[in-house]
């Protein structure tokens, strides 16, 4: 469904992504892990053409989207939940959701609103509150719900666990699991490797702007190198095994 082919991106002379190729099949849940500054956000932003690429392409249903404007890519059925949630803080929860449905016909917006508030009841309860007043977890839910309002076929998630308590992270991921089970395709980038790989089917590891590993999520979780670099397990533990 989504195929990123040898993507190169640079920021003011610094090479952020080098020859990155990633693909996501229909209905898959794929996680891409990497440490701070590895280029995870850059990857998602260049797929959405929020930052522009140097070389390479991102095919969505076989068509290169990197030349389209972000809003048109969204209209094609690809949604992004941006890093740090970025809800419209000075607008109500309800208005935030309405904005997600900006390009959709009114009848569909109504139906989608009902769907997302059923999935995230807290958003229904706080509909008239300013989004900036919500807690971090609630804002993350709102950001996801807002993205769902665009009626996407594929959802790109940027660091959903950022700044959230472990219990809330679990809650967010459980929602993603439900979404994936309804057939939504998900590409997620995360620093928190353990939770990201636990919920995904396949995974990639991004380091210094290059894909250094890929495979089934369960295999990556068991990989020594991944364990050392991303799961915080030290050599000592490996020696003693």
Partner 1 sequence: MQFLYSGLTSGSIYGLVALGFNIIYNTTGIINFAQGEFVMIGGMLIYTLFSVMGLPFPIAFFGAVGCAFLVGIVFERVFIRLTRIKNELNLITVTIAASIIIRDVAMHVWGRDSLPVKEFIPVFNIKMPGGVISSQSVLVILVSLAVAFGLNLFLKKSRYGKAMRASFDDPVAAETCGISVSTIRVMSFAVASLLGAVAGVIIAPIMFVTYDDGIMTGLKGFSAAILGGLGNFGAAIAGGLMLGIFESFSASVIPSGLKDAVAFLVILLILFVKPDGLFGKKKVHRV
Q: Which parts of this chain interact with partner 1 (CB under 8 A)?
A: 48, 50, 69-72, 74-75, 79-80, 82, 84, 86-91, 95, 98-100, 102-103, 146-147, 149-150
β-strands 185-190, 154-158: how paired? parallel
**Minimum distance between the CB of residue 224 and partner 1, rounded to whole angstroms?**
35
Residues with Cβ within 8 Å of residue 228, at least 6 apart in sequence: 234, 235, 238
Q: Which residues pair with 92 in a beta bridge?
A: 130
Estimate the crossing angle of helix 106-119 against helix 93-100, to 10 degrees: 130
Beta carbon nearer to partner 1, 34 or 101? 101
Minimum CB distance to partner 1 smaller for 92 or for 218: 92
Considering the complex, what minimum distance in angstroms separates the CB of residue 145 from partner 1?
A: 12
Least distance (Å) between residue 163 CB and partner 1: 10
Of 33 and 147, which CB lies nearer to partner 1 in the complex structure?
147
Nearer to partner 1 among residue 92 and residue 194 (C-beta): 92
Q: Which helix (H) or strand (E) holds 174?
A: helix 166-181
Cβ of residue 100: shortest distance to partner 1, in angstroms? Answer: 5
Task: State the Cα–Cα distance between residues 97 and 124, nearest whole angstrom.
Answer: 11
Query: How far apart (Å, rounded) are the C-alpha atoms in residues 90 and 211?
Result: 38
């Amino acid at each position: 469904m989504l195929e990123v082919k040898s993507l190169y991106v640079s920021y003011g002379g610094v090479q952020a992504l080098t020859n990155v190729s990633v693909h996501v099949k229909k209905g898959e849940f794929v996680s891409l892990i990497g440490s701070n500054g590895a280029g995870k956000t850059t990857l998602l932003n260049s797929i959405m053409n929020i930052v522009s690429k140097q070389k390479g392409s991102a095919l969505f249903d076989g068509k290169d989207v990197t030349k389209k404007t972000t809003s048109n890519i969204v209209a094609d059925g690809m949604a992004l939940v941006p890093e740090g949630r970025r809800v419209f803080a000075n607008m109500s929860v309800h208005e935030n959701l309405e904005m997600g449905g900006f390009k959709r016909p009114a009848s569909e917006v109504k139906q989608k609103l009902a769907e997302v508030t059923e999935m995230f009841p807290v958003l229904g309860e706080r509909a008239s509150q300013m989004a900036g007043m919500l807690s971090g977890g609630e804002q993350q839910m709102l950001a996801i719900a807002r993205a769902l309002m665009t009626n996407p076929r594929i959802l790109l998630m940027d660091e959903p666990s950022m700044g959230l308590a472990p219990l809330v992270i679990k809650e967010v991921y459980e929602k993603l699991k439900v979404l994936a089970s309804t057939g939504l395709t998900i590409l997620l980038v995360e620093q928190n490797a353990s939770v990201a790989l636990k919920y995904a089917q396949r995974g990639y590891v991004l380091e210094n702007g290059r894909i250094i590993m890929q495979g089934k999520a369960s295999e990556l979780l068991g990989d020594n190198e991944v364990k050392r670099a991303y799961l915080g397990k030290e050599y000592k533990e490996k020696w003693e095994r």
